[in-house]
């Protein structure tokens, strides 16, 4: 009994363009973000997705509903899929933060630094722990199904760590790209492909933060 999991990141937002940390905060999807979500929707339309799980943060949930399209499936919000909390740094430009506090660097977190956290925020170890708990439950209640998960940059890093991706500290998932993972009845999971953007009709460089 094979369980199939598709992972994607929310569409580009205004704060992505401005290179502001979003975390638990939010900014609207840009037109490019919406367009690329629509292109991914076209790729997904012939897949037999049984359920969609999304972070409850608006940029992810908006993306999830675009991807749902005409599918008669439920979009379920899951707090465990929220982005890393950046506390007092949310909404601020990364460049400004680095100048103010040179010891804190988002790039170190992206490369796997597990204990660094913003004032009032989470560290990567905490994110990995809640993502693990969420993913264990999602797989347990959806055995044999095809699942789509819509999340965030660092959350997806935690998810790929969960699925034992050896390149997890070297890669950042592009927005509205697609990753496919298959898990067998013994709980062994295999990455079929990751960060695939072949559905984009007009490929432009994906912004990081």
CB of 42 closer than 8 Å to CB of 200 = no
Residues facing residue 183 across a β-bridge? 3, 189
Query: Active-site residue 182, yes or no?
Result: no
Number of CB atoms found within 10 A of residue 10's CB: 31
Catalytic, out of 10, 32, 62, 122: 10
Q: Which string of DSSP letters, residue by residue, matches 96-139?
A: HHHHH-TT--HHHHHTT-SS---TT---HHHHHHHHHHHHHHHH
CA atoms within 13 A on the CB side of 197: 16
Catalytic, out of 32, 83, 122, 146: 83
SS3 state at 78: coil
Torsion angle, alpha carbons of 134, 135, 141, 144, to 10: 170
**CA 33/CA 154 separation, integer angstroms:** 18
**CA 101/CA 44 separation, integer angstroms:** 42
Query: Active-site residue 125, yes or no?
Result: no
Residues annotated as part of the active site: 10, 83
């Amino acid at each position: 009994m094979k369980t199939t999991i598709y992972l994607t990141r929310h569409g580009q937002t205004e704060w992505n363009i401005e290179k502001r940390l979003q975390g638990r905060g939010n900014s609207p999807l840009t037109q490019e973000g919406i367009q690329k979500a629509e292109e991914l929707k076209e790729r997904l339309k012939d897949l037999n997705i049984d359920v969609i799980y999304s972070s409850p943060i608006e940029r992810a949930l908006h993306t999830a509903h675009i991807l749902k399209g005409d599918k008669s499936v439920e979009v379920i919000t899951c707090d465990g899929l929220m982005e890393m909390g950046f506390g007092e740094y949310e909404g601020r430009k990364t460049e400004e933060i680095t100048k103010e506090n040179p010891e804190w660097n988002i790039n170190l977190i992206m490369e796997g630094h597990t204990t660094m956290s913003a004032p009032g925020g989470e560290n990567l170890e905490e994110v990995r722990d809640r993502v693990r708990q969420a993913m264990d439950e999602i797989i347990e209640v959806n055995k044999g199904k095809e699942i789509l998960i819509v999340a965030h940059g660092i959350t997806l890093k935690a998810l790929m760590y969960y699925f034992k991706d050896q390149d997890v500290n070297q890669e950042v998932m592009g927005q509205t790209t697609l990753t496919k993972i298959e898990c067998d009845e013994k709980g062994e999971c295999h990455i079929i492909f990751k960060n695939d953007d072949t559905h984009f009709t007009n490929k432009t460089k994906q912004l990081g933060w």
